[in-house]
Amino acid sequence: MSNYSLNHLQQLESEAIFVLREAAAQFNNPALLFSGGKDSIVMAHLAYKAFYPARIPFPLVHVDTGHNFAECLTFRDAFVEKYRARLVVGSVQTSIDEGRVVEETGLNASRNALQTVTLLDTIEEHQFDAAGGGGRRDEEKARAKERFFSHRNDFGEWQPQNQRPELWNIFNGRKNHGEHFRFFPISNWTEMDVWQYLKAEEIELPSLYFAREREVIQRGGTYLEVNELVQPREGEKVEVLKTRFRTMGDATITGAVLSDADDIDKIIEEVAAARETERGNRADDKRSETSMEDRKKEGYF
């Protein structure tokens, strides 16, 4: 009997596919959030496997900050085509233009917080009753308490004190009109699991994840790539350094790390040796110790 055992990655895959199918079955109009980052890529790939040979029964939703790395959009469109998925785009720029949100100003302004409003607007516009995210519990301490099926009230808010208990693999997706859910198929994955899975399944990634020589400046303790949105300020020196990105966020604040990892095996080695969590170089989490919890309560993903 002992031959019938799964390694941990197979167990995580099986669990994630189970969650995706439950979401498809329990909700009327679910969607998957797709940022172009590795976690959402893994989630979309799992969705493809879960429903093969049928198409993924829900669209991929991209909340476009307008502050993208150019390559992310090219990658997104190619990905959507390859997986025969449907794409829905919500635009932060439109939210700003329509006066739904006010752009942050100041030196470290970013559009990460603004995404919440655009996301909630997009959910409302398309009447999605559930949105799947690539959030992982190991990323951040508020996420450690997130459910697979996470209930949001009328205002899209998360209420950490009032979550539904989740037992075994039984998910309760029942809700009243106007409420919706977030679901997190890869809740139990770690950063290392995601990388090993990307490798094992030979999944393509944006080249931003791989190290090459990039023009960067140092700002706020991290390296920012010089591009349309990031220009050197007075006193900042442009350097050419071998760098890569560990997350795909707002291009104006997402820092690159010095790295020689130009292929996936080297990244895996780097992740194994890493002494800083991957969010360590995102300026928005450093604002206060509870910044993620505060943003999540408002409906951030």
Partner 1 sequence: MSENSTAGYLDMDLLRFTTAGSVDDGKSTLIGRLLYDSKNTFDDQIEAIERSSEQRGDEHVNLALLTDGLKAEREQGITIDVAYRYFATPKRKFIIADTPGHIQYTRNMVTGASTANLAIILVDARHGVVEQTMRHSFIASLLRIQHLVIAVNKMDLVDYSEEAFDKIVESYKEFASRLDNVVDITFIPISALKGDNVVDKSDQTPWYQGPSLLYHLETVYIGNQENHVEARFPVQWVTRPQSDEFHDFRGYAGRIAGGVFKPGDEIKVLPSGFTTKVKAIYSGEKELEEAFSPLSVTLTLEDEIDISRGNMIVKENSPPKVGQDIEAMVCWFSEKVSPTPRSKFIVRHTSNETKAMVQKINYKVDVNTLHRVENDSTFNLNDIGRISLRTSAPLIYDTYKRNRSTGSFILIDPNTNETVGAGMIIR
Q: Shortest gap between Cβ of 9 and partner 1 (angstroms)? A: 6
Q: Where does 83-132 have alpha helices with state H?
A: 92-97, 115-126
Interaction residues for partner 1, span 41-70 (CB under 8 A) = 48-55
Residue 239, phi then psi, degrees to nearest 5: -120, 155
State which residue, 75 or 181, has the beta carbon closest to partner 1. 181
Count of positions on this chain that bind partner 1 (CB under 8 A) = 68
State which residue, 102 or 221, has the beta carbon closest to partner 1. 221
The 10 Å CB-count burial string (b at 16+, else e) for 114-135 is bbbbbbbbbbeeeebbbbbbbb
Could you give the CA distance from residue 163 to residue 152 in angstroms, rounded to a whole number? 9
Reference 292, options 145, 129, 152; nearest CA is 145
- Would you count residue 87 as binding partner 1 (CB under 8 A)? no
185 upstream amide cis, omega within 30 of 0: no
| Interacting span for partner 1 (CB under 8 A) from 62-70, 215-223, 229-237, 265-273 | 265-273
Cβ burial of 161 (10 Å; 0-12, 13-18, 19+) is exposed
Q: Shortest gap between Cβ of 287 and partner 1 (angstroms)? A: 13
- Would you count residue 298 as binding partner 1 (CB under 8 A)? no
- Would you count residue 2 as binding partner 1 (CB under 8 A)? yes
State which residue, 54 or 107, has the beta carbon closest to partner 1. 54
Reference 27, options 171, 185, 156, 187; nearest CA is 171
In the list 88, 89, 94, 175, the residue contacting partner 1 (rule: CB under 8 A) is 175
In the list 81, 102, 160, 238, the residue contacting partner 1 (rule: CB under 8 A) is 160
| Interacting span for partner 1 (CB under 8 A) from 66-74, 118-126, 244-252, 274-282 | 274-282
State which residue, 34 or 48, has the beta carbon closest to partner 1. 48
Reference 193, options 15, 2, 21, 63; nearest CA is 15
Q: Between vectors from CA 61 to CA 185 and to CA 130, what angle results, nearest 5°?
A: 50
Judged by the rule CB under 8 A, the positions of this chain that interact with partner 1 are 1-2, 4-15, 17-18, 21-22, 24-25, 48-55, 137-138, 141-142, 144-145, 160-161, 163-170, 172, 174-176, 187-188, 190, 192-193, 196, 199-200, 265, 268-269, 272, 274-277, 280, 289-290, 293
